[in-house]
Chain A
Amino acid sequence: MKSILTEEQMSITIRRLAHQVLENQASLADTVFIGIQPRGVFLSDQVMEEIRRLQPEGGVQYGRLDITFYRDDVRKELHIANQTDIPFSLEGKRVVLIDDVLYTGRTIRAALDALLDFGRPGKVELCVLIDRRFSRQLPIEADYVGKSIDSIISQKVKVYWKKKDGREEVAILD
């Protein structure tokens, strides 16, 4: 196991991501944030915390999306769904999708399909903590990247979250 980001580095990176998302748009009035279930939500919770600290006047819309029913391998094995909670319309909005690792791109493909069922977004952006370059199976790229990793396919990149795993770290497992 090789450590990529320590807890301290992760926290700095997540704060930078929040700043970058804000930098791109002066006002958040037409922006909504969507964390992808289950593990993207740990990142989006922290990004939102930082954004709300920077924009304390509030009113930022934040939801969670589960993409299980939109997977392209839904019948190969059973996937258990998590909760989706998007109590607002996405019609015409700038949507910032947030996930922990961008790998093959298939999760994001499914998420783009799912988003359309909540209205037609004006624009969709993608924010990830880890981008595993050179392993994409679909033409999908992130707009905001915490850290890029060039790992070989057999390796596994694991993001540990305090709420779930008891510690915060990004590591490569062989």
Chain B
Amino acid sequence: MSLSAKHLLGIKNLTKEDISLILQTAARFKEVLQRPVKKVPSLRDVTIVNLFFENSTRTRFSFELAERRLSADVLNFAASTSSAAKGETLLDTVNNILSMKVDMVVMRHSASGAPHFLAQHIPAAIINAGDGINEHPTQGLLDAFSIQEKTGSLEGRKVAIIGDIMHSRVAMSNLFLLKKMGAEVTVCGPPTLIPRYIREAHGVEVNYNLKETLEWCDVANVLRIQLERQNQVLFSSLREYNLAYGISRSMLDSLHKEVVIMHPGPINRGVELDSDVADSKQSIILQQVENGVAVRMAVLYLLATRDKPE
């Protein structure tokens, strides 16, 4: 048994078996992270470069920690402090790094499809850490792992993805993954932030009413408004957005059940989530971050050991 793909470019390219294998391996690594020595020697001979052409705290730390916990050698690259700022092309940058004998590339880029382009031109295994508005596969996987851990299974689970669906790569990865694993998905947000043909294209439900969506779901994955990706006015103000789509304590208390609250971070408190919701018992936001390391260890481990010629 092994992954069907050589790279992790998106959830779109994975099979159901791939996803199950990653989640199962992640559970093993989660146990490793509870040990007195939270480290295994598996990737001792592997060098990994983290190429971040876009800002990140959680994802970059999470990947770096996962790499170190697997005993890999780690190189960090931030676009703002590198020669990319001097006009070097993406392919030149990566080829220069690879000539220093690097085995795997973890990349975040603001252009959708950047890792797919790279995969066609370089021999190293590539892991997409977020590309533009396309996918953020490890976030999708860690969200699925957290849902499974909290609620038992993904099959038949009712998951709502709430907020800026249009500009969210997290939404896309979650949606592909949840559908493949047999969960039911509803997306919710203002009509201007939901792609028009998403129902036909992906087989998900669309509901513009937050209250109804919360009444329906077991798990609510709440997304940030990606103001940096919006180049036109799509809603009148953050204050108005909060009134219509922000999740408040009183809203949750009016439901006749307990919904699990998730958020990929960073949270804009008082916009999509009120503070007393984000910090409540039913929110698993910090568990998501904790699980992120185990899930990324699983992805790195499974891709590093695949078809490696001696």
Contacts and interface: CB of A to CB of B under 8 A. Distances in A.
A66 B35 CA distance: 13
Nearest to B34: A87
B28 A78 contact: no
Interface residues of A, number: 23
Given A69-B32, A83-B28, A119-B36, A77 B305 contact: yes
Contact of A80 (B1, B32, B36): B1
A10 B310 CA distance: 40
A74 interface: yes
B28 A66 contact: yes
Main secondary structure of the interface of B (DSSP, over half): loop
Contacts of A116: 37
B41 interface: yes
Interface in A35-82: 66, 68-71, 74-82
B37 A117 contact: yes
A117 B243 CA distance: 51
B41 A70 contact: yes
Contacts of A85: 31
Interface residues on B, range: 20 to 34
B39 interface: yes
A76 B310 contact: yes
B43 to A, nearest CB: 8
Contacts of A79: 305
B41 A78 contact: no
A79 B42 CA distance: 11
B308 interface: yes
A84 interface: yes
B87 to A, nearest CB: 37
Given A69-B41, A69-B42, A84-B28, A78 B302 contact: yes
A117 B31 contact: no
A78 B40 contact: no
Interface of B: 1-2, 21, 24-25, 27-28, 31-32, 35-37, 39-43, 45-46, 301-302, 304-306, 308, 310
13 contacts: A68-B28, A70-B42, A71-B42, A75-B43, A76-B308, A80-B25, A83-B27, A83-B28, A83-B31, A85-B31, A113-B41, A117-B36, A117-B39
Given A118-B36, A119-B36, 20 more contacts: A66-B28, A69-B28, A69-B32, A69-B41, A75-B43, A75-B305, A75-B308, A76-B305, A76-B308, A77-B305, A78-B2, A78-B306, A80-B24, A80-B25, A81-B28, A83-B28, A89-B36, A117-B39, A117-B40, A118-B35
Which 8 pairs of residues, A with B, have the shortest CB-CB distance?
A117-B37, A69-B40, A81-B28, A78-B2, A78-B305, A75-B308, A69-B42, A74-B42
